[in-house]
Amino acid sequence: MQKAEQETGLSPSTPLDWFESWLLERASERENPLTPQAAEPYRYIWSSWCQWLLGADRSGQSEWTGLVLAAGPTQAMAFLLDHVKPATQRSGSATEISIVTRERYCMVLRGVYGHLQRLGLLTENPMLRLYELAGEDRPDAEVLAPELWHRLLEQAAEEPADRSPFALRDRALLWLMLDAALTPAELSALNLGQLEQALAGEGAADAPLTIRLQGNRAAQRRELQLGAPAAAALRDWLAVRSDTLAKGRPDTLVVLELVFFTERRKPLSRRVLFHLTSRLITQACASLGLGLPRHLGPLVLRNTAILHWLQDGMAQDLVCRRAGYQGRLALEHLRTHLAAIRNDDKKEHPTAWNTTSP
């Protein structure tokens, strides 16, 4: 029984009570406690979910408590598709919500329903796999095994067999995912104006290369200096990019400014990036004699890169800034792995659990 229930002797009895009980549980956590300010968007999400269930009910039951307890991932997916819209949307642009927004909604639903299970109101958490269902390549807390991650780093360091332009492009994309943990949206939208390199005489080839990332939220707007291997791979692609683009017919003028494009000279899509990462992960598994992991998409690489930053001793606040997260609560999807690192490596990497800004 939760602390609030111990004080009152009563269990929460309505959907809003359940949510407040979950907030209290999260606020009392030693690691990453939920603040009242951070809770406000979550309160809106839960209220919207409950209201949507009432509006979508066709049984005539219209009983809030029963509808919430009976809901499952099918209704949650319909809610995400039907109710949740982008905060800002240009005319004619896609109506798909961002990965960050989708993840936030999934986290709240999964968290509250997990709390209902702990309260004994449900036998299992129906939203346990909601991350996986809501994002084709973004599962909940999915990361690659250490040996597979190291093999991908080795693959990225290898010279492409044919050094064809698009082989160089693929290696540059892989390094940006491994080194900088860029999202599919950031890779697709990256343009030449976002690249900064200090060119100074003979050291130009080894000069630092910085990416200025943009986004709707302040946290997404950040600068990342690439490691030497990633910078070298990106320069190799940039050296052939213009000629490669000129040999085709760019789909739109926008492509002229994009760092990356497809062989048909179109902007990269999530599907293209998924096929690229699934091919590279499959090759790595084959070379190690391993079976394929459950998920092969680019965001699994992002998850794993972020986890390794923490494992290497980077403070959580700095990890969040590098990843474009608004705060440490955004590491929620890696919670299981964070706990494992804390238990196994706390003595070896004490700064990984520093919760103050560096």
Q: In terms of pLDDT, which residue wins out, 4 or 355?
A: 4
pTM, 2 dp: 0.59
Distance CA 125, CA 24 (A): 19
Taking phi over 0 as left and psi of -120 to 50 as alpha, with beta for the rest, 11 belongs to beta
State whether 80 and 166 are in the same domain.
no
Among 100, 134, 168, the domain boundary falls at 134
State whether 85 and 167 are in the same domain.
no
Distance CA 337, CA 30 (A): 16
- Of 141, 142, 144, 139, the residue nearest 155 (C-alpha): 144
User: Is 139 domain-assigned?
Assistant: no
Domain that holds residue 16: 3-134
Of the pLDDT bands very low, low, confident and very high (cuts 50, 70, 90), residue 224 is very high
- The tens digit of pLDDT for each residue in 57-80 reads 766 656 778 999 999 888 888 888
DSSP 327: S
State whether 157 and 81 are in the same domain.
no
- Of 310, 141, 317, the residue nearest 219 (C-alpha): 317
Instruction: Output the six-digit token pair for 227.
Output: 């490691």
Greatest alpha-carbon span in the chain:
76
- Of 28, 20, 247, the residue nearest 119 (C-alpha): 20
Instruction: Output the six-digit token pair for 93.
Output: 């642009």
Among 134, 165, 182, the domain boundary falls at 134
State whether 194 and 118 are in the same domain.
no
- What integer pLDDT is reported at residue 55 of this predicted model? 82
State whether 103 and 235 are in the same domain.
no
State whether 97 and 194 are in the same domain.
no
User: Is 308 domain-assigned?
Assistant: yes
- 3 state SS of 151: helix
Model confidence at 218: pLDDT above 60: yes
For the chain, percent of residues with pLDDT exceeding 70: 78
Domain count of the fold of the chain: 2
Of the pLDDT bands very low, low, confident and very high (cuts 50, 70, 90), residue 99 is low
- Name the least confident of 18-22, 97-101, 285-289: 97-101
Distances (CA, A) of 335 to 126, 214, 220, 310, 327: 19, 27, 21, 12, 14
- The tens digit of pLDDT for each residue in 85-96 reads 655 444 433 445
Q: Phi then psi for 258, rounded to 5 degrees?
A: -75, 140
